[in-house]
Amino acid sequence: MRDLYAAINTATPDTIATTLRDHTAPDWHWRGMHPFYERHGAVDVASAFWTPLMGSLTRLQRREDIFFAGQNTVGEGTWVVSMGHLMGLFDAPWLGIVPTRKMAFLRYCEFNRVVDGKIAETMMHVDIPHLMTQAGQNPFPPQTAAHMVQSGPMAHGGLLHAAQPAAVGEATLAVINAMIGDLGTWQNKLPLEEELARTWHDDMIWWGPAGIGATYTIERYAKQHSGPFRAAFYDRGTTGHVARVAEGHYGGFFGWPNFSAKHRGGFMGMAGNEHDCEFRVIDIYRREGDKLAENWVFIDMLYWLIQQGDDVLVRMAAIAGTDYTPPA
């Protein structure tokens, strides 16, 4: 993975397909957020995602905050996780978003399953609404928390380029699993803040996506996201993950989807409905002691909203008067 990232740093829109092909399996399975969805093979991934992005965010840099790997505990294989920002000069339109010709930071997180030195499977998420907000084209109503260019880990130790003691990663995974068990289907009988205190430090930070925002301390997280979110949904399905890994004090998971739920109304300013709508989510955690201290969250908000009948990219392109054509 580090070899691929180094190669991407010197690639161009014209050469990125070859770069990807050199590091991926012929039947590479790539999952992405709306509007990219599932892709197969280097040429497909390059033409849909990387070539347009590199033509828009010029002089692209990967500013990585977290990097770790581990055995999948809910499925197959060894997965490598990378999280941070893709930073560049926003010089040309992308997905109908009007460029600023200024620096822009695109939050990203990706999971990659590596087999025999080649990438066989990927989950890639970038926070497109955050880029829209930086360009002055916020598509959402006022959010419940704060959003900004997000910080990496407080301890600045998220780049695990050397192997970590197995017991440390196992301890991290145990706390994550306990938190997932408490979450369940929102049927825990404890008051919300007491439930959270079982697995979270009181000064935890939840780094949420654009449209929701980040929030600090259990009390504010309960009021600014977790409580309103639970109140807005019902009939939550069970949790399902494609991969769940941990190494050292870091761990995370993703699902396709993670869960489904029906919308009672109010979330993102949308009216309620009776549809079972999917949430595709990536979560990355930092453990400190016996509890979780930080959580970086990537939710495919555009995919959830299109299930509500709101195609945000089409709507915002119409407002901006730009051209938007979904990737083929």
3-state secondary structure at position 10: helix
Confidence at 149, pLDDT banded by 50, 70, 90: confident
Where do the DSSP E strands lie in the chain? 24-32, 38-40, 57-71, 78-90, 103-115, 118-126, 200-207, 214-216, 233-234, 243-247, 250-254, 259-263, 277-279, 281-288, 291-299
The model's pTM: 0.96
* pLDDT tens per residue across span 303-321: 999 999 999 999 999 999 9
Chain-centroid distance of CA 87 in Å reads 16
Residue entry with tokens 């920002």:
85
Q: Round to whole Å and give the CA distance between 250 and 287.
A: 6
All domains in the chain, ordered by first residue:
2-141 (3.10.450.50), 166-312 (3.10.450.50)
Report pLDDT for 147.
76
* pLDDT tens per residue across span 12-55: 999 999 999 999 999 999 999 999 999 999 999 999 999 999 99
Report pLDDT for 143.
77
Report pLDDT for 223.
95
Report pLDDT for 184.
67
* pLDDT tens per residue across span 67-123: 999 999 999 999 999 999 999 999 999 999 999 999 999 999 999 999 999 999 999
Does residue 218 contact residue 202 with C-beta atoms inside 8 Å? Answer: yes
- What's the mean pLDDT when you consider all of the chain? 95
Report pLDDT for 296.
98
Q: Round to whole Å and give the CA distance between 79 and 161.
A: 14
| Nearest alpha carbon to residue 291 among 209, 190, 162, 203 | 203
* pLDDT tens per residue across span 210-237: 999 999 999 999 999 999 999 999 999 8
Look at residue 182 and tell me whether its pLDDT is greater than 80: yes
